[in-house]
Amino acid sequence: MGDRLAELRLRRGMTQEYLAERANLSVDVVRKLEQGRRKTARLSSINALARALDTEPSYLVGQPSTFEASEPAEDGLPSVLALRQAVSPVADLLGGETDPEDPPGIEELRAALRSTEAIRREGRMGEIGMLLPQLIRDARAAAHAHTDGDAAAANSVLAVAYQVAATTLTALGKEDAAFTAMERSLAAIRLCDDPNLETLAVSTLSWVFTSQGRLDDAERIALDHAARIEPGFRSRPEDLALWGILLLRAATAAVRQEKHGTVTDLLRLAKGAAASMGEDRLIHAIPFGPTNAGIAGVNFLVEMEKSDEAIRAARTVPDLASLPPTWRARFHVDRALAYGDLGDDLGAENALLRAEADAPEWMRYHSTSRRLVAELRERAPRRDTAVVGLADRLGLMG
């Protein structure tokens, strides 16, 4: 990150002092990052530096930009290009390409989507890259070929497939392509039969904006839609979950703008909705309930540099095993960040190893995990420690 930061700063004709002033950060932070004496920074700081340098946060942190695979599968390698072609086919602009004569049936499409979402929850990015382009093509063909209820059902599958594409492309630092996928998802939602998909699309779009550094936009669209669907006292658990998901999306954007009062208020509302539900529910690939609200609270405390509170709060999160593997892994990374901030490298290392146990492939694409592992490796007293092995498995050089 330090090399990319220095390169952009010099291209912008900025001194370290001027960059620090524009980002509202200490010049010592900028200096240590550029010199490599510090490899991690809070996401609010990374977003502030990205805004000051007019770039995406993903560029600064060196997010992986393509799929990884140890060896080719029978059908080849997962491909960013294939995913782009599925999301933005040339035929949409120029015509000339026809759909297959026998598109998949609706139940076949739904089964393929369920399988893809299960893989997504486990963070198996390479398999997503293999399966998702064909799922999008099949769902598009079915939506074009069918009529009435079957066409609406096919568009529901297509809308969710585009959202999976958006989150996958965002994880690879392709936020602009992710935005295109979300435009396609919203178009399919207008023709589908699932009233909840618009809320999930807004949640995903808020995340795409957050990853782009468009934090005001991310917070605003989540809050605007949350106000539209705000549940009442007798609302169904599913309605409470959808509302709560949006509140946490808005809070994620707010904490990266250091709007701590807003974060506290939104988290309080989300936890109230979660308590009313009693247990977590999974809406497509997104969980919400007491457990997810609890781990979100830990994440926000870490971002607000309240590491002692974060560690204490982490011990009280209920029923962690009920969450998907990627959510558990993200929780353990937050614990690792808190331990690292407190100078407890062993605690940080153990938390990272637990994250890897839950979602090993996801870890290789998660830029915060990679930065923290790199920093811990440099401080490791012996070259045979567990963190060195973890760094090797993540493909970190040095």
Residue 81: count of CB within 10 angstroms of its CB: 9
| Pick from 323, 388, 390: nearest CA to 356 | 390
Q: State the pLDDT at residue 112.
A: 95
What lies within 8 Å, CB to CB, of 33 at 6+ separation is 1, 2, 5, 39, 41
Residue 342 phi, psi (nearest 5): -90, 5
Locus of tokens 């909840």: 196
Helix orientation angle between 148-171 and 197-212, rounded to the nearest 10 degrees: 20
> 189 exposed, middle or buried (CB, 10 Å; 0-12, 13-18, 19+)?
buried
Q: State the pLDDT at residue 1.
A: 82
Average pLDDT, 10 consecutive residues per value, the chain (398 residues) = 90 93 92 83 86 88 75 69 93 71 88 94 92 95 92 96 96 93 97 93 97 96 97 91 98 96 98 95 92 97 96 96 96 97 95 97 92 88 81 83
Is the pTM of the predicted complex or chain greater than 0.85?
A: yes
| Pick from 375, 362, 365: nearest CA to 58 | 365
Q: State the pLDDT at residue 231.
A: 94
Q: For residues 331 and 314, is the Cβ–Cβ distance under 8 A? A: yes
Q: State the pLDDT at residue 101.
A: 67
Q: State the pLDDT at residue 258.
A: 94
Helix (H, G, I), strand (E, B) or coil at 226: helix
Q: For residues 163 and 204, is the Cβ–Cβ distance under 8 A? A: yes
Q: State the pLDDT at residue 172.
A: 92
Q: For residues 308 and 342, is the Cβ–Cβ distance under 8 A? A: yes
| Pick from 164, 184, 129, 56: nearest CA to 361 | 129
> What beta strand segments (E) does the chain contain?
281-283, 286-288
Residue 225 DSSP class: H
Separation CA 143–CA 139 (nearest Å): 6
Q: State the pLDDT at residue 97.
A: 67
